[in-house]
Structure 1
Amino acid sequence: MEDRVHEFWEEYLETLEARPARPNVEIGIAGNEAIADELLELYLSGKKTAGSGLVKDYELAGDELPKVGNYWIILNSKGEPKCIVKTIRVEFTRFDQVTEEIARAEGEGDLSIEHWRKAHVEFFTPYLKDWQISNLDEETLVTEFYEVVYK
C-alpha cells in the first residue's frame, strides 16, 4: 500500500477493539476517473450502499469474486484515501433481472431500474468486445452491498 493509504488503513484499525484476521483489502477508485469523485460522494453521504460488476470481468482479470467481509479503501480521483467500506452482502443476478433494491442501493440518478440500466450499459459497452460479450442482458452481475466503516 502507498504510505498514505497504509496510514489510513492503520488509522481505521486503531478504531477497532480487535483487528480483522487476514482481511482482504482492495484499494482503488469507484468506477473510473471520470466518475470517481461523484461516486465517492455518494458513498460518503450514505446514498450509495452497493456496487455491481460483471462476473466475466473478474474472471478475465483473474480476480477473486467479492466476498462478505472484504474491505475496500476508496480513493478519490487524485489517489487519496477518503473512506473504507466493508462488504456485508453479495448477490448474483442476471443483468436483465436487476432488482429495484439493487438500483436504489447503488444510489445513482433517480434510483430507478431504468436509470441503473442506462448508466451500466454506457459504462460496460466500451469493454464488451474485449470481454467477448455479445448480449449484456445474459451476463451475470455480482453486486456487493457495503457499509462505510471509516471516513
Structure 2
Amino acid sequence: MTTTEFWKSYLKATNQKEENALYSGELVFEDSGFTGQTQLSLVLSGAKTATFTPLDVIEINLEPVPSRGEVYVVLDSKEEPCCIIELTDVNIVPLNEIPWDLARRDGENENLSDWQDKMREYLEDEADLCGFEAREDSKIVCEIFKVIYKK
C-alpha cells in the first residue's frame, strides 16, 4: 500500500475530508543502536510515545521545530506505511533537565541514568556529524505523540 492509499484509508476510517485533514509528512523511527523496525515495534506496542532530537540538528538542517497537532504517516524499514501519529505536545528542554517521567516515554530504558547515557551518546554522534558542540545543557526537542491509526 502506498502512503497516499494509507492516508486515504485513514481519512475514510475517521470520516475526514482531505481538504480539512492535517498531513505533516512521513516519519521513520531510527536511532543508533536500534533498528528502525525495533523503534517501530515500540511505537506500535505503545511503549514509545516520545522522540527526542537535538535542537541544533533541526536548526542546522533549516527545518521548522515540530508543533502540537502535526500528523505523520510512519513508515517501516521498507518504506511501507504502518501507522499514523499525532504530536500531542512539543517541549524544548535542556538535556540535563529532562525528567524521568518524560524520558521514559522513549520506551527503551529502565531508568533515567541509562536513558541519559544513551542520549549523550546520540547527542555526541549528531554533534560530530552536524558540527555543533554537545553539552549537558544542549536543548532537546521532546515530541510526545499518540498513535491515531494503524493498518
TM-score when normalising by structure 1: 0.88
1:109 counterpart residue number: 109
- After superposition, the CA RMSD in angstroms is 1.9
Q: Deviations over 1:43-70 (max 9, x none)?
A: 1001111111011111111111111110
Corresponding residue for 1:40?
40
**Unmatched segments (≥5 aa) in structure 2:** none
Aligned length: 148
Q: How does 1:1-151 map to 2 (within 5 A)?
A: 4-19=2-17, 21=20, 23-32=22-31, 35-110=35-110, 112-151=111-150
Q: Structure 1's 47 and 68: CA in aligned 2 closer, same or farther, altered over 3 A? A: same
Identity %: 24
Which stretch of the first structure deviates more once superposed, 10-19 or 141-150?
10-19
TM-score normalised to structure 2 length = 0.88
Distance (Å, rounded) in 2 between the aligned partners of 1:133 and 1:61: 12
Identify which range, 45-54 or 16-25, moves more after superposition.
Answer: 16-25
Which amino acid letter does the alignment assign opposite residue 8 of structure 1?
Answer: F
User: Cα distance 1:78–1:32, how it changes in 2: closer, same or farther (>3 A)?
Assistant: farther
